[in-house]
Each structure stands twice: as C-alpha cells, then as structure tokens.
Amino acid sequence: MEDTQSTEKVREDFDRLADLSDEGEWDHNAHYHAFLLKQLPSRCSEALEVGCGTGVFARSLAERCERVLAVDLSPRMVEVARDRSKGHPNVEYLVADANSWEFPEERFGCVASITTLHHLPLAPTLRKMAGALRPGGTMLVLDLYRAQSPADYLFGAAGFPASKALKLAKTGGLTHRQSPALRRTWEEHGATDVYLTPAEVRDACAEAGLRGAKVRRHLLWRYSLVWRKPIR
Ligand SMILES: C[S@@+](CC[C@H](N)C(=O)[O-])C[C@H]1O[C@@H](n2cnc3c(N)ncnc32)[C@H](O)[C@@H]1O
C-alpha cells in the first residue's frame, strides 16, 4: 500500500471528496449498515469508528450506543461530519491517523471501520482495534475485496444486476446522482486503491489473533468481518 498511496495523498484525496460529498446519498456501504448494526447487542456503552468520513455510520452507532468516538485522517471530512452531527451530541470527532494514533486499551463495546482498512496495513490495524475492545465487545469491518477465486468472480458478476436493482429501489433511478466532479474525484482516488482478496483478509485475521472471526463476502464487492472479543 505504501508504494501506491502515501498517507498525505490519501488525506488530500479525502479532503477534496469531503468538500464535494452529498448528504444522505444511498451508496453500497450504506446498504450494509443494517447488517453491521444487527451484529451488536441492543445496548452498547461506547463505540469507536476508524475512518468515519462524513459520519454517516457514526450517527447510526450513536442511536445504539451511549457515546461514539469517530476518528478520521482528513480534517475536512471531520469538519463536514461535525457539521452534519449537530443532532448527535454523543458523537465526538477526532482528526487522527490510525497508523500512529494510540488506540485506547480495552475501552469500547464496539470498534467499527467501513471502507477504510484498505488504506492501512490490515493485520497490525486489526490488532490495534482488537486491543481497543473490551472483553465481550464486537469488531465490525466492511471493506472492498479483490476477486481471486472463481467463486469471487462469480459473486462479483452477480453484484452488477444486484447493484442496479438496489439503486432503482433506493433512489428511484439508475442514473448517477453524484456530481460529475465528485464522480471524477472518486475515480482518480480509486485508481490507486489496492484491495486484499478474501483469503488475504482471513490470513490477516489469523495473524492478528482474531480467533473465530467471521469473514463473509457480500454481493456488492465488499466483505464483512465480525469478531467478538472473548470474555476472559
Ligand atoms: C472511503 S472513506 C469511508 C468513510 C466512511 N467510513 C463511510 O463509510 O462513508 C475512507 C475514510 O478513511 C479515512 N482514512 C484513510 N486513511 C486513514 C488513516 N490512516 N487514519 C484514519 N482515517 C483514514 C479517509 O480520510 C476517509 O474518510
């Protein structure tokens, strides 16, 4: 990852994307929010989100948890997130690089991250996220994967009609609603993104010591990782 995307470049890309972002636009990540939230117990004390972007998932977590700490590398993303979270006083935002930020030890009932971990070394970051969870807490990850096996490719192919049908159902149309500038900026950013295969994600879980982690492939080119920290 270091070869293709420096942290500085990632920060600049997301600062630009923050300024162009739309509020409330349905996207492929949002489609999986309900699935992720379903993995949590009905009550959760405090949650951490790593790479919160404009705070869409942090605000959903805030409906379920007493407090949410949401961290992001991009100062502009955090400004936009704060602005959109005025009705959620239990969310605290922090500008920090997850590579160097000191994760608090055993503090959170949930540690989540959505389409961010491909910017970070996976196994070391999972280890830090696991360390920040209280015993019994839940780790939730959603990210894009790179197809490798025939099954990955078949699954990925099925994602195209599924994406069209979902887009029609959620937005009432099939055309792009994003502004051309936003679409172009995402395309430029995505050109240097590198994703892991599902097998590499499972290896990283093993390396990070996440015994019993459930890694699932989903239709819209994403995997989820759900892990419960054992109670000692
Ligand atoms: C694709 S966006 C996803 C944002 C949000 N999770 C969502 O689902 O809308 C990835 C986010 O990760 C953040 N990010 C990338 N590298 C990071 C790092 N090293 N530390 C903290 N955040 C990072 C970016 O600034 C960006 O906001």
Closest C-alpha to ligand 1, atom 7: 53
CA of 117 to the centre of ligand 1 (A): 8
Task: Indicate yes or no: pTM above 0.85.
Answer: yes
Helices (H), 21-149: 33-38, 56-64, 75-84, 122-132
pLDDT at position 191 is 87
Q: Which CATH class is domain 7-228?
A: alpha beta
- Which residue lies with its CA nearest to atom 1 of ligand 1? 115
Q: Computed over its alpha carbons, how large is the radius of gyration of the chain?
A: 17
Q: Is the CB of 28 under 6 A from ligand 1?
A: no
Q: For 176-204, what is the mean pLDDT?
A: 89
Could you tell me if 108 and 133 are in contact, meaning their C-beta atoms sit under 8 angstroms apart? yes
Find the farthest-apart pair of alpha carbons in the chain and give their distance in angstroms, rounded.
52
Task: Provide the pLDDT confidence category of residue 1 given band limits of 50, 70 and 90.
Answer: very low
For residue 45, the tally of other CB atoms under 10 A from its CB is 13
pLDDT tens for 9-59 read: 999 999 999 999 887 677 889 999 999 999 999 889 999 999 999 999 999
Q: By the 8 A CB rule, do 143 and 116 touch?
A: yes
Is there a contact between 7 and 73 (Cβ–Cβ < 8 Å)? yes
